[in-house]
């Protein structure tokens, strides 16, 4: 009992330390400035952990005994009877470029945040559970637009900014239905919470010294509601060494509760010249999160080699904001391919136990600018280093390089380098001691 208590204390201490280390970064900038986060509920975080990120985000069908699967709850039941704790950190370096008239403007920025905290434990040999906390979306953008006021020679200046995001606290469970058929089902219940603030300011440039009267609008929505996910998997044996993995997940359409506040105010030289006018104060509404379907197929050889493909469909055309208004998003398709290789998983030599990963993604985003769809393409690589007495603990580093949009029309080309660092710690808990 004392040993179990010590482990729990260490687990809680590790979680608090991880949150403390990244809180200063997470509070200020999420994963950096991107204009695409102005749409919908913001920019979505990757669904998988650091290991999945290194192989193209692959994770709907492929389990791994050393890592948690955060993408398909059914695969929790494939885990060995050990408790595993995981923490992940993410960083993103961006370069934004846009052609305006005959000039090219560019901007670089960097952001970092906590990627996930998760722990999974077995209930019995056929049933496992997990709890996790991770960011779900983030909003971070700042855009200035200058247009001539019709019928005058004056310019109107419009300044748009956004910040915030949603977090996701989840409980998931997976169960093995038929022991000899290797069929698994699972479910996840999550509480989404957080807030998103969008502000806009507009003024006509008359004086040119910053003293023009400015009209300001601040819109803030606080979200809090429960969402669900269902998962299934089938892992038939092809031979003594090879296994075929099939998996699928379904996120049903959900309306999440939000309370909205709108405030108008006139300012001059950054000082208020009128009392703030609260047009709406904590008005309750519902935001529609559309349904999502993901499916994957992979082939695996005795924890040494795994390769597969995942596809996903998100019905973002059904998205409605807190005012029940469509924001013009389009249905999106995601495709991921990847593999991982451990030279000799049963070897005693350290270099044979290192896991290597490669992957790629092609994503049709739900955005359209100037009549042109925005696509996201990236390649990834990663490595996991075993640690500890029995080499069951892992530290994982993954890198993703990609591009979204092109230098054409009004599009913003975004080139990025994503870095993910993950720690996986495994141990046997709840073992009944036998005294001979």
Of the candidates 378, 382, 423, the one whose C-alpha atom is nearest the C-alpha of residue 399 is 382
Q: For residues 84 and 293, what is the distance between their CA atoms, to the nearest angstrom?
A: 27
DSSP 201-228: EEEE-SSSSS-SEEEEEEEEEEEEEEEE
Beta bridge pairs of residue 333: 313, 364
Write down the pLDDT at residue 294: 98
Judge whether 263 and 278 are in contact, CB under 8 Å: yes
- The distance between the two most distant Cα atoms of the chain, rounded to a whole number of Å, is 95
pLDDT in tens, 136-188: 999 999 888 888 888 888 888 889 999 999 999 999 999 999 877 899 999 99
Beta bridge pairs of residue 248: 232, 295
Please report where in the chains the tokens 């956004």 appear, as a residue. Answer: 162
Write down the pLDDT at residue 168: 95
Write down the pLDDT at residue 372: 86
Q: For residues 267 and 265, what is the distance between their CA atoms, to the nearest angstrom?
A: 7
Write down the pLDDT at residue 430: 54
Beta bridge pairs of residue 143: 160
Of the candidates 134, 15, 88, the one whose C-alpha atom is nearest the C-alpha of residue 397 is 88
Reading the chain (436 residues) residue by residue, the pLDDT tens digits are 444 444 444 444 444 444 444 343 344 446 888 888 988 999 999 999 999 999 999 999 999 888 888 899 999 999 888 889 999 999 999 999 988 777 888 889 999 999 999 999 998 888 999 999 999 999 999 888 888 888 888 888 889 999 999 999 999 999 999 877 899 999 999 999 999 999 998 888 877 666 788 889 999 999 999 999 999 999 999 999 999 999 999 999 999 999 999 999 888 877 888 888 888 898 999 999 999 999 999 999 988 999 999 999 999 999 999 999 998 999 999 999 999 999 988 888 889 999 999 999 999 999 888 788 999 999 999 999 998 776 778 999 999 999 998 888 778 899 999 999 999 998 766 555 555 4
Judge whether 220 and 197 are in contact, CB under 8 Å: yes
Is the Cα dihedral 277, 282, 286, 292 positive or negative? Answer: positive
In this structure, the strands spanning 271-272 and 242-251 are unpaired
Q: For residues 213 and 199, what is the distance between their CA atoms, to the nearest angstrom?
A: 16
């Amino acid at each position: 009992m004392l040993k179990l208590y010590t482990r729990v204390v260490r687990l809680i201490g590790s979680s608090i330390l991880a949150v403390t280390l990244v809180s200063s970064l997470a509070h200020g900038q999420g994963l950096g400035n991107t204009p695409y986060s102005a749409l919908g509920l913001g920019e979505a975080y990757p669904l998988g952990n650091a290991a999945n990120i290194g192989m193209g985000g692959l994770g709907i069908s492929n389990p791994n005994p050393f890592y948690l699967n955060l993408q398909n709850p059914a695969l929790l039941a494939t885990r060995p009877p050990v408790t595993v704790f995981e923490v992940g950190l993410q960083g993103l370096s961006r370069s934004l470029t846009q052609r305006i008239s005959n000039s090219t403007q560019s901007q670089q920025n960097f952001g970092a945040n906590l990627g996930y905290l998760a722990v999974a434990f077995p209930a019995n040999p056929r049933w496992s559970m997990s709890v996790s906390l991770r960011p779900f979306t983030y909003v971070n953008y700042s855009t200035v637009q200058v247009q001539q006021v019709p019928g005058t020679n004056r310019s109107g200046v419009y300044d748009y900014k956004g910040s915030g995001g949603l977090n996701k606290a989840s409980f998931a469970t997976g169960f093995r239905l038929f022991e000899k058929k290797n069929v698994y089902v699972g479910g996840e219940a999550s509480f989404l919470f957080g807030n998103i603030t969008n502000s806009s300011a507009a003024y006509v440039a008359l004086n040119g010294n910053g003293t023009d009267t400015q009209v300001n609008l601040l819109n803030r929505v606080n979200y809090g509601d429960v969402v669900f996910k269902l998962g299934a998997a089938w892992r038939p044996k092809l031979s003594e060494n090879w296994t075929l993995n099939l998996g699928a997940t379904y996120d049903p359409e959900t309306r999440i509760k939000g309370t909205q506040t709108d405030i108008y105010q006139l300012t001059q030289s950054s000082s208020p010249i009128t009392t703030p006018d609260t047009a709406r104060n904590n008005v309750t509404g519902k935001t529609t999160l559309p349904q999502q379907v993901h499916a994957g197929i992979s082939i695996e050889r005795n924890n040494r080699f795994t390769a597969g493909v995942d596809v996903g469909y998100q019905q973002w055309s059904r998205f409605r904001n807190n005012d029940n208004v469509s924001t013009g998003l389009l249905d999106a398709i995601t495709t991921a391919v990847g593999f991982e290789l451990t030279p000799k998983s049963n070897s005693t030599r350290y270099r044979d136990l290192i896991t290597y990963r490669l992957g790629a993604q092609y994503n049709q985003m739900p955005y359209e600018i100037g009549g042109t769809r925005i696509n996201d393409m990236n390649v990834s690589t990663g490595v996991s280093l075993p640690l500890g007495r029995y080499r069951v603990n892992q530290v994982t580093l993954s890198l993703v390089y990609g591009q979204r949009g092109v230098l054409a029309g009004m599009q913003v080309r975004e080139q990025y380098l994503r870095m993910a660092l993950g720690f996986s710690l495994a141990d046997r808990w709840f073992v009944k001691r036998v005294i001979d």
